[in-house]
Structure 1
């Protein structure tokens, strides 16, 4: 840009002669100013990833937590629900066709816990798993024709039809099998049921599908669906635990089931001579030894409270109920 000069008055400039050294100094200063002007022009882009924030590293003496310049993500994944302490009733009534007791193992792994009380969480390290002792859960109760009472837990025909099917999430790969649940309706009526079956979708988290006989204890069967609260209990009993080997068991492969437990079983181990080996649990409520290790040996059973019971060795007699003469303590 050319400099402008005042035009109202024109003065003839006086000519001054500067020493050569002073003129040279002025030229150097002018060149320096020009170089600064060129260097400040936006002709270069920063190298992507060169900033500390972009690489995740921090400069010495700064906090170890970096702050992103971009949008931050929420701590809760989109679509994941948070326990609220109540269950929204499902618009579709559950079918009465629960999992058939075929013995086919399917594992469900889900950490979302809608339908539970606010004191529960989706992930827990407790042996009790999802259903914690002393916690009341909210949900709905429906009813189904339970026939002889056999179900996904493979306990066989029920002597008492005060039984129920647990929703798939809380069934937790058969860990709910054998649990005694106290169910309370809004009118104050209660019934205690034994979990013998699994209720798949559309049964919602927190939902119990009661046998028709159990449902009639707390509500008019015509209601079909009611709001409830329920919790795990440790009932009084004079019965002892029994052991049953699955049909097809031998010294080379066996499935072991616990029957009549006061408290839900959290773990089952077998003696292998060199120690105890924990067996994995199938969704049909048997603990499996794929290699035959421990089949016909002593058994150690742990309940959700951490109590351990050790039984004598039982012969591998498939589909035979063998009393163990032990029982977990009441809580």
Structure 2
């Protein structure tokens, strides 16, 4: 009896101890499972979330979290949203913005306002420009020359070097010539001075050269410039020898300013004639011969001449003259 009563408590203690160990083991296991469970704040899950953002729906745990992320999203986008002005415009926008563009027609640059003295049709010789050169002299005889104006009672004439003669464009120009000693003379271009006359050189009649220096000087430095003189004369017209309804040459004389163009009427408009080196404008097929003429000077002024008969070699005066500049 004594032995049985001694063994029974031992078995009870062993059983209690085993139960306690089992319970502790289960508790430890449960703790480990809970600790390693994702999304519960354990360290392994925290490290993974920092390295790789979770795509689980649990990332949006509360209703307000998506709104907060939506506000911050544009700041993290690599490219900004295009502005309305960066989008291809529609036809309506194009027409609305068109008035802001500079107009290709008009304005100070495309249509400069003419000022006094400007000569849009001038060639090498321009008004209000002083040219340097030399003056020589020649025997002008009766004052006629390459311009074929004919004899002149006024021998204040000069021959222009070939370069500035410019295929007779200098014919009839009035030039003010100044010498280094202060003397000056006004001459009319009636002739051409061929080589060796250099650009800028004037070959004056002996009478004109004598106004600047003694003829023995032979050659003197000068400056010269274009003039638009006062005159009481009007322009005259002359048809060349041999002119007819089938061919004609037309010449203008006594014009105050250099002549830039001569045109003939065609009935439906104006036809510009070609100027020769002997200062006639030719109509090789007879167009406009005997009809109305239109003259234009280097300043752009136009004069219309009517009633000129087709009479070769006859100088016929008109009632018109170019304005003075």
Q: CA deviation at 1:200?
A: 0.3
Question: Residue 301 of structure 1: SS of its match in structure 2?
Answer: strand
Determine whether 1:130 maps to 2:124. Answer: yes
CA distance in 2, matches of 1:185, 1:134: 18
For residues 55-77 of structure 1, give each alpha carbon's deviation from its aligned partner in whole angstroms, at most 9, with x where no partner exists: xxxxxxxxxxxxxxxxxxxxxxx
Distance between the aligned counterparts of 1:254 and 1:324, measured in 2? Answer: 19
User: Is residue 2:180 matched to residue 1:186?
Assistant: yes
Q: CA RMSD in A?
A: 0.9
Question: Is there any run of 5+ residues in structure 1 with no aligned partner, and where?
Answer: 1-124
Alignment partner, residue 136 of structure 2: 142
Of the candidates 259, 263, 270, which is equivalent to residue 264 of structure 2? 270
1:199-232, Cα deviation, whole Å (9 max, x unpaired): 0000000000000000001111110100000000
Query: How far did residue 274 of structure 1 move?
Result: 1.2
What does the per-residue CA deviation read over 1:218-259, in whole Å, with 9 as the maximum and x for residues that have no partner?
Answer: 111110100000000000000000000001101100000000
Match of 2:283 among 277, 283, 289: 289
Q: Which runs of 5+ in 2 are unaligned?
A: 1-118
Q: Which string of whole-angstrom CA distances, capped at 9 and with x for unpartnered residues, describes residues 37-87 of structure 1?
A: xxxxxxxxxxxxxxxxxxxxxxxxxxxxxxxxxxxxxxxxxxxxxxxxxxx
The equivalences for 1:77-226 within 5 A come to 126-226=120-220
Q: Is the Cα–Cα contact under 8 Å of residues 172 and 258 in structure 2 kept in the other structure?
A: yes
TM-score, normalised relative to structure 1: 0.62
Q: Which runs of 4+ in 1 moved over 4 A?
A: none
Q: How far apart are the structure 2 equivalents of 1:317 and 1:136? A: 40
Quote how far apart the aligned CAs of 1:313 are. 3.1
Does the CA-based 8 Å contact 2:120-2:300 persist in structure 1? no
Determine if contact 2:143/2:155 at 8 Å carries over to the other structure.
yes
8 Å Cα contact 2:158/2:203 also seen in 1: yes
CA contact (8 A) 2:122 2:299 kept: yes
Contact 2:159 2:203 in 1 (8 A): yes
Contact 2:136/2:209, CA 8 A, preserved across alignment: yes
Write out per-residue CA displacement over residues 270-290 of structure 1, whole angstroms, 9 at most, x where no aligned residue. 001111000000000000000
CA distance in 2, matches of 1:202, 1:258: 29
Number of aligned positions between the proteins:
207
- State the alpha-carbon separation in 1 of the partners of residues 177 and 289 from structure 2: 38
Counterpart of 2:296 in structure 1 is 302
Q: Which residue of 1 aligns with 2:308?
A: 314
Distance 1:212 1:162 in 2: 9
Q: Secondary structure of 1:197's partner?
A: strand
3-state SS of 2:207 partner = helix
Residue 145 of structure 1: how far off its partner (Å): 0.5
Any idea what SS the aligned residue of 2:216 has? coil
Question: What's the secondary structure of 2:274's corresponding residue?
Answer: coil
Match of 2:231 among 237, 261, 283: 237
- SS of equivalent residue, structure 1 residue 129: coil
CA contact (8 A) 1:299 1:313 kept: no
Alignment correspondent of 1:92: none
Q: Which has the larger radius of gyration?
A: 2
Q: Secondary structure at the match of 1:222?
A: helix
Separation in 1, partners of 2:161, 2:170: 10
Q: How high is the TM-score relative to the length of structure 2?
A: 0.63
